[in-house]
Chain A
Amino acid sequence: EDQVTQSPEALRLQEGESSSLNCSYTVSGLRGLFWYRQDPGKGPEFLFTLYSAGEEKEKERLKATLTKKESFLHITAPKPEDSATYLCAVQASAGNNRKLIWGLGTSLAVNP
């Protein structure tokens, strides 16, 4: 069964304290792995798509990497405005519906 597990469930950082969020997955053929940011009461906001092992994407203080079994979202020198829930999702290559299989998310709090 396709599955996504994110860790930790919650993370509290001081401003400027770099860290990484983990997303491990099992899927019958990976079409893509996606990272989203979600603020309370809002829909998920797309951040990155990763397609193959070894791929990396960067955006401001965020960097996403992918291996055959997991992805990391590295946050460098975070600011309070980076506080949000970060969701990871995978899309299996089998089937044509492209539905996303989601993890439960990591709730990140960055203290000033």
Chain B
Amino acid sequence: DTGVSQDPRHKITKRGQNVTFRCDPISEHNRLYWYRQTLGQGPEFLTYFQNEAQLEKSRLLSDRFSAERPKGSFSTLEIQRTEQGDSAMYLCASSAPGEPYEQYFGPGTRLTVT
């Protein structure tokens, strides 16, 4: 299967711990996005990479969140000192250069902070 993959699918952590999620995009896609989604809401944009460059980060994202995409392939999203409000589904999406512009999503990582 050549779709977007995310790991882990589920993560339960205690408040104050650090967590890291991984996303592997579709191989020929140079653009990669992270979103966060809570129940009953649409996905909320977190950050965007074109190749290895992080071109935009949401103003809503605190300094506890950091993302990387070394070598323009897979990406990691780290949350430091987790808070209960960080509990959500974290979605990764990728898109190809040029048209069409649609983004393809992975299955998501469900984070629960206790």
Task: Mark A residues whose CB is within 8 Å of B.
Answer: 4, 31-32, 34, 36, 41-46, 49, 87, 89, 91, 96-105
Q: Can you report 26 residue pairs joining A to B where beta carbons are below 8 Å apart? A: A32-B101, A34-B103, A41-B108, A41-B110, A43-B106, A43-B108, A44-B43, A44-B91, A44-B105, A46-B103, A46-B104, A46-B105, A49-B100, A87-B43, A89-B42, A96-B50, A97-B48, A97-B56, A98-B31, A99-B45, A100-B43, A100-B45, A101-B45, A102-B42, A102-B44, A104-B42
Known: A43-B106, A104-B40. 12 other contacts (CB 8 A): A31-B101, A34-B103, A43-B6, A43-B91, A44-B43, A44-B105, A96-B50, A98-B95, A98-B101, A100-B33, A102-B44, A105-B42
Across the interface, do A45 and B105 meet the contact criterion of CB distance under 8 Å?
yes
Which residues of chain B have a CB within 8 Å of any CB of chain A? Answer: 4, 6, 31, 33, 40-45, 48, 50, 55-56, 89, 91, 93, 95, 100-108, 110
Which 5 pairs between the two chains have the least Cβ-Cβ distance? A102-B42, A43-B105, A97-B56, A99-B45, A43-B108
Q: Are B42 and A99 in contact (CB under 8 A)?
A: no
Closest-CB distance, B59 to chain A (whole angstroms) = 12
Q: Determine chain B's interface SS by DSSP, over half rule.
A: strand
**Complexed CA–CA distance, A44 and B102 (Å):** 12
Contact partners of B103 in chain A: CB under 8 A: 34, 46, 98, 100
| CB atoms of A102 and B107 under 8 A apart | no
Chain A residue at minimum C-beta to C-beta distance from B107: A43
Chain A residues lying within 8 Å of B56, measured Cβ to Cβ, are 97, 99
- Chain B residues with Cβ below 8 Å from A4 are 42
Decide if B108 touches A42 in the complex (CB within 8 Å): yes
List the A residue with the shortest CB-CB distance to B108. Answer: A43
The interface residues of chain B lying within 8 Å CB-to-CB of A43 are 4, 6, 91, 93, 105-108
